[in-house]
Amino acid sequence: MSTLTDHGDPAAGAALHKAFPAFTREPAVYRGDVTVHVDAGHELDVVRYAKDKLGYELFVDRFGADRGEDAEPRFDVITILYNLKTNRRLHVCLTLPGPDPETPTLIPVFRGANWFEREIYDMYGVRFAGHPDLRRILMHESFTDFPLRREYPVEGRGANQAPRRALGGIQDATDGHVAVNFLPSVPPPAGPHAQAGGQDVPPVGHVRPEGRP
């Protein structure tokens, strides 16, 4: 089934490189996918050329990638375009430096880049100059890290990220008791210590039925 490895068009990659020889590399081909690497600052022109002159008019995807803390340039922003006439796909890979990664937005060429760039910003901290609404899109606004960076641990960085709801200190109990946040939305059970909202509710985990040691 060789059909999986003829999705790219090396000739289009070569044409793109020929149009911008100074700041693009020779197209890289792997398993038939053609990738043109672009230097920072020139991506917009290259993508516009691919759209207007080479017919890559379907905006398929735009996403980031991280080569690791020690790599320089560290970040990639990969844009995938599709040509509906030749039925071939083109990858444009922009490389950005690790500290302070910033590049012009692609929105003037493809309006659909909007959310994709917000996601790259959200996940990698790459900023897009000229983007009208560069906010986080998947993570919560109060999140401070860029979770798809390679050094960010998969289990997250825990409670320091999102403010925990105060539970009156009872969740700090470390004596093997389980803290259960019982109120306010549970129907109040009958009994002396469970008046909803009452002041006398003992800390959960230390409840002893009356009359027992």
| Interface with another protein, residue 5, by CB under 8 A | yes
Q: Going along 11-125, which residue ranges are E strands? A: 28-30, 33-38, 58-66, 75-83, 88-96, 102-104
Q: Which is nearer to another protein, 65 or 183 (CB)?
A: 65
The Cα–Cα gap between 136 and 122 comes to 5
| Interface with another protein, residue 49, by CB under 8 A | no
DSSP 24: B
Which of 7, 48, 127, 131 forms a contact with another protein (CB under 8 A)? 7
Contact set for another protein, span 85-104 (CB under 8 A): 87, 89, 91
Contact set for another protein, span 112-141 (CB under 8 A): 112, 114-116, 119, 123, 136-140
DSSP line for 77-91 = EEEEEEETTTTEEEE
DSSP line for 186-202 = SPPPSSTT--TT-TTPP
Chain residues that interact with another protein, rule: CB under 8 A: 1, 3-7, 30-33, 35, 57-61, 63, 65-68, 78, 80, 82, 84, 87, 89, 91, 110-112, 114-116, 119, 123, 136-140, 147-148, 150, 152, 154
